[in-house]
A and B are shown apart, each in its own frame.
Chain A
Amino acid sequence: MTSFLQIVIEGTLVGLVYGLVAISFVVIYRASRIVNLAQGEILVFGALFLWTFTLGAEHLGYQVPLVLSIALTMVACILFGMMLERFVFRPLISQPAFAIFMASIALLILLRGAGQLIWTAETRSFPVILPEGGFNVGPFLINTRLLLGGLFTLLLAFGLHHFFTRTRQGLRLAAVAEDHHIAQSLGVSVRQAIAVAWILGTVVATCAAVVLLSGRIISLEVAHIGLKALPVALLGGLESIRGAPLAGILIGLGEALAMAYLDPLTNGATSGILPYAVMIGVLLIRPQGLFGWKKIERL
């Protein structure tokens, strides 16, 4: 029983990290109706920015205080997000959804290649930003890094939800996601909305990178988390920011339980397949996800 509850706790905490990555999908979708498959790569870029301004600068002989390097990383992220908007997605405004989907796929391999060219493919250690180790609550061991990350995820989810539903700026973004043409004709700047979407998306992805990687090893393979968070975002509903952490917990729990109880029987496959099986199930049964907006289509 103890081990079962321990698995539940760990699954929940890992699930919240998935939820955080899923939020970065959702903010981009909420503000521009683009599902960015390259989100994993963007997360890796955020992580590599942070590495460059901390350990990378240290290698070159500059001692940068942590606060300053985090600030620099955020600036780099914002610039990066603006660049993506300006050079990739602004020219594609009003193109069919197919073109935008393909652009995000092209971005996926472009960023993967660019990351390898700029930073090379070697693995490197990520600076310790969140406290390491864990503490005991009764018989259970709780990982401090993941707990802080989970709390951050929940706070962020409620903050962003408030932003998107209660502020004027956030509602404008929602209007753009609903229909570019109508939003434009009502005086909402589509360009600005998409720029904000990408800046939010890159910043949230970088936060996710910090939670996921703090004190661990960073390599280009980490980008795989993006594909893992996609089922989470779909399960929660692509429009729902508060749905993402909940869906993350569900998938994280399912994965942890499958890893513990079913993987020994299936040679390690169940936990890997589970998120995608859930994704196909969601698409078949409830395409809008748990909390997404139900789109009414004729026919």
Chain B
Amino acid sequence: MLPTGIHPTCYAHEARVLITPRSRVWLAILIAGLLAFPLAAGPYMLGVFTHMFITLMAVYGLYVTVGMAGQINVAQSAFVGVGAFATAKLSEYGLPFYLVIPAAAVITGTVSILFALPAARVKGFYLALTTLAAQVVFPIVILALPMSWLGGLVGMSVSPISIGSLTLSAPIHFYYFTLAFVALLTVAVFNLKRSRFGRALLAVRDNDVVAEVMGIPVFKMKVLAFFVGSLFAGVAGACLAYFLQFVTVTSFTLFASVWYLGMLIVGGVHSPVGAILGVVFITLVQESLHDIANSLMQSGASGGVLFALTSVALGGCILIALIFEPRGLAHRWQVLRTAFQLWPFPRN
């Protein structure tokens, strides 16, 4: 709901993402804060944030496929992996990053189409099963291909990015590099919802029969939903490959895919704000569990306790979100925001 005194006079005004002047000020503060963040933070925090940005890119992609088009995708991590391996392979040929990243995104999108094709025959969770197949098959294929192609069991190293005379190596470089990309993708994902294509996806999600009757090519839209979602995954994979400077197949598991989905669900599937809130929230939980697990390990607990704790926490978070707040944190955020905007008038 809008605060008093804001009266849209044309459609363009109503369709704006940031309607009130105050929201633009808040956004400016957020951007300034993110730009100034490295002044206050150590390398560890910068690493955490870089990771968070990369995760956010992948979750944006998932938002397009799952949230907008309503097609479940449990292979986002495999698609990120495809992007990462494509980056590693292309950078081996000495291509610059501004060619490698779009190429990696397109390669990832093309691979995803392969697994979206059954959408012609099946829908709902059956379609989710084909993505599950993609996730399970991905490591098998990478490991079976000859070592010289994609590194096999060992993995591949990625040659670092150089812009002019600067070679990206310090955490602060990667922070700004990924921040730039995540900003670009944020603008893209917020605008996607307002485009013709985005509205078509929403129609397919809400009722595919009606969408077909209205003249939307449902099958094509479903395939495109996977394609676009995987473009995001490809960019995330490329950034991850450059950031870690090494890719192995073990980083792209079914668990990582579930993590991405979990973040989206906890945040709220139906808005890009949900993707942001979910990623930030789960990263916070993960970091605090890090400390708990460290202190547990010092008191003699066994190794994988951190993985176990985070799994339990994330699984619990998803279940709680599904049972008690299926609209996710984004809805809570919206309620809070409305109350703030309407104050001192009561809500409703």
Contacts and interface: CB of A to CB of B under 8 A. Distances in A.
Contacts of B127: 283
Contacts of A186: none
Contacts of A222: none
A117 B312 contact: yes
A266 B72 contact: no
Interface stretch (B29-37, B158-166, B186-194, B254-262): B254-262
Contact of A273 (B117, B129, B137, B212): B137
Contact of A121 (B117, B137, B304, B323): B304
A273 B140 contact: yes
B261 A102 contact: yes
A267 B323 CA distance: 45
Contact of A113 (B70, B115, B126, B308): B308
A101 B128 CA distance: 9
Interface stretch (A10-18, A44-52, A90-98): A90-98
Contact of B122 (A227, A276, A283): A283
Contacts of B209: 298-299
Nearest to B117: A284
A108 B126 contact: no
Interface string B311-324: 11111101100110
Contacts of A91: 323
A12 B121 CA distance: 30
A268 interface: yes
A105 B261 contact: yes
B309 to A, nearest CB: 7
Contacts of B255: 109, 112
Q: Range of interface residues on chain A?
A: 35 or more
Majority-rule SS of A interface residues: helix
Interface string A155-170: 0000000000000000
A238 to B, nearest CB: 9
Contacts of A269: 140-141, 143-144
B144 A106 contact: no
Contacts of B241: none
A280 B125 contact: no
B326 A99 contact: yes
A107 B323 CA distance: 13
A109 B258 contact: yes
Interface string B52-77: 00000000000000000010101000
B303 A279 contact: no
A261 to B, nearest CB: 16
A105 B256 CA distance: 12
Contacts of A268: 143-144
Interface in A233-290: 234, 266-269, 272-273, 276-277, 279-280, 283-285, 287
Contacts of B118: 280, 283-284
A96 to B, nearest CB: 9
A109 B315 contact: yes
Interface in B276-333: 302-305, 307-316, 318-319, 322-323, 326
A134 to B, nearest CB: 29
B170 interface: no
Contacts of A107: 315, 319
Given A35-B125, A106-B315, A109-B315, A121 B303 contact: yes
B204 to A, nearest CB: 13
A100 to B, nearest CB: 9
A186 B325 CA distance: 30
Contacts of A105: 74, 258, 261, 318
Given A273-B140, A279-B130, A298-B209, A113 B312 contact: yes
23 contacts: A98-B72, A102-B261, A103-B319, A105-B74, A105-B258, A106-B262, A109-B315, A112-B255, A114-B312, A117-B308, A121-B303, A266-B144, A267-B143, A267-B146, A269-B143, A273-B140, A276-B136, A276-B137, A283-B122, A284-B117, A284-B121, A285-B121, A299-B209
Given A107-B319, A108-B258, A110-B319, 15 more contacts: A95-B326, A105-B258, A106-B258, A106-B315, A110-B311, A113-B307, A227-B254, A267-B143, A267-B144, A269-B141, A272-B144, A273-B137, A283-B118, A284-B117, A284-B121
Shortest 10 CB-CB distances between A and B: which pairs?
A110-B315, A113-B311, A269-B144, A106-B318, A116-B308, A113-B312, A276-B133, A272-B140, A267-B144, A109-B315
